[in-house]
Amino acid sequence: MKQDMIVILDLGSTNNTVLARAVRDLGVYSEIHPHDITVEELNALDNVKGIILNGGANRVVDGKEVEIDPALYECGYPMISVDYPSSKCEKQFAELPEEADLKSFIFDECKAEANWNMKNFVADQVELLRRQIGDRKVLLALSGGVDSSVVAALLIKAIGQQLVCVHVNHGLMRKNESESVIEVFKNQLHANLVYVDATERFLGKLENVADPEQKRKIIGGEFIRVFEEEARKLDGIDFLGQGTIYPDIIESGTKTAKMVKSHHNVGGLPEDLQFELVEPLKQLFKDEVRACGIELGLPAEMVYRQPFPGPGLGVRCLGAITRDRLEAVRESDAILREEFAKAGLDKQVWQYFTVVPDFKSVGMKNHERCFEYMVIIRAINTIDAMTASIERIDWDILQKITERILAEVANVNRVCYDMSPKPPATIEFE
């Protein structure tokens, strides 16, 4: 491994990721480990240069202060503590150290080198992946989302044709989305890509199903069945590639922190499909995943895309999905994205999309009464998707988008803007 590392031991802090980010932002790799790490486990990590004991709100469990193995103090690593009283540390900070203090610890005391960058990360991972996988094969569900695309690009670089990507088009993708997955991965990166157009199968299963939860269950369940069928057709697969990223691991709960939510990336895959997991992004934060994608040569549109829900346009074509309304969602979404990009809003707004409800309203087209659908535009900003505020779109831009949707999208005679923050509304409608 090329990178020096600062280890953060979680002694009940709610700020572990903030501290890890602060260290990485200084160009030094950092990892968060549980407080009960053993000396052997610590010594097995590559290039450790120093340790930060990171206490905080949860440092007292069942009336007792959590402690590290006293033998760790004797290992010879420079150590500081944050919000954790420890007579054995030289330096103790009551709260997150200022940048100058952090720099002094990392560079003067630990003598770490600022060698954390994506070039080194990619080089290290390629070497590790080749060692882990040897001449065996890896299967990857390639949705076209940021994380799965970056994992695919990294695995292609490491093992080439030993990676089999399966792209399932459930018919609920955005305009040209599957085409761009094929273009980038099959035509440009020459990936071993299995493309499955399962549109009819998904739309068939979803016919007349109006309940949002039931729609989500059908889409998720069917996705696993299609993926499983494809996996069974392939021979000699030993590994399953996954786009797990660092927040997924951290949010799944460290030993002192409360569980935020558990993440199941390919949740529900049958147990008799037994694979070892390959998760090369599991130490990266989201913006680092994007930087890794750029380093690997993926197009910026793919790497900087906004979040898109697994059930796709299925939860934006409200109620029971019909083909005409699904087309209206897809076309209006494409217009919205195009106009947002033109106005530079794509870099400013966290998430923006259209939905089409399952009722009609009266209007006039060509001097005649019409009875057609409406498109609702939603554009929000958020930090963690737990709460969200609406974006105040410039009136002229909204008007331009409205005019284009009314002129170009079939079966639509009305456009509305959703003013609701989260809560009480969620970001998606279903």
What residues line the site for ligand XMP (CB under 6 A)?
307, 309-311, 351, 385, 422, 426-428
CB-based contacts of 179, cutoff 8 Å, min separation 6: none
Closer residue to ligand XMP, CB minimum distance, 17 or 265: 265
DSSP state of 173: P
Distances (CA, A) of 227 to 11, 271, 315, 352: 40, 14, 21, 29
Least CB distance from residue 220 to ligand XMP, whole Å?
8
CA 418 to chain CA centroid, Å, is: 25
Contact 141, 32 (CB under 8 A): no
Closer residue to ligand XMP, CB minimum distance, 297 or 307: 307
Closer residue to ligand XMP, CB minimum distance, 188 or 426: 426
Closer residue to ligand XMP, CB minimum distance, 310 or 363: 310
Least CB distance from residue 426 to ligand XMP, whole Å?
3
Least CB distance from residue 307 to ligand XMP, whole Å?
4
Closer residue to ligand XMP, CB minimum distance, 121 or 429: 429
Angle (deg, nearest 10), helices 146-159 and 286-295? 40
Closer residue to ligand XMP, CB minimum distance, 361 or 387: 387
Least CB distance from residue 424 to ligand XMP, whole Å?
11
Q: How far apart are CA 327 and CA 49, in angstroms?
A: 56
Least CB distance from residue 42 to ligand XMP, whole Å?
35
Which residue matches tokens 């199903």?
A: 209
Q: How far apart are CA 30 and CA 22, in angstroms?
A: 9
Closer residue to ligand XMP, CB minimum distance, 228 or 428: 428
CB-based contacts of 96, cutoff 8 Å, min separation 6: 15, 18, 19, 22, 82
Which residue matches tokens 């690009």?
A: 153
Which residue matches tokens 């609702």?
A: 376
Least CB distance from residue 386 to ligand XMP, whole Å?
8
Closer residue to ligand XMP, CB minimum distance, 49 or 167: 167
Least CB distance from residue 420 to ligand XMP, whole Å?
11
Closer residue to ligand XMP, CB minimum distance, 34 or 310: 310
Return the number of other C-beta atoms located less than 10 Å from residue 72's C-beta: 19
Contact 166, 142 (CB under 8 A): yes
Contact 421, 388 (CB under 8 A): yes
DSSP 306-319: PP--TTGGGGTB-S
Cα torsion 143, 149, 151, 153: sign: positive
Instruction: Give the three-state DSSP class for 355.
Output: strand
Instruction: Give the three-state DSSP class for 149.
Output: helix
Q: Helices (DSSP H) in 38-168: which residue ranges?
A: 39-44, 99-103, 118-133, 146-159
Closer residue to ligand XMP, CB minimum distance, 50 or 241: 241
Angle (deg, nearest 10), helices 286-295 and 118-133? 80
Least CB distance from residue 298 to ligand XMP, whole Å?
19
Least CB distance from residue 381 to ligand XMP, whole Å?
11
Least CB distance from residue 306 to ligand XMP, whole Å?
8
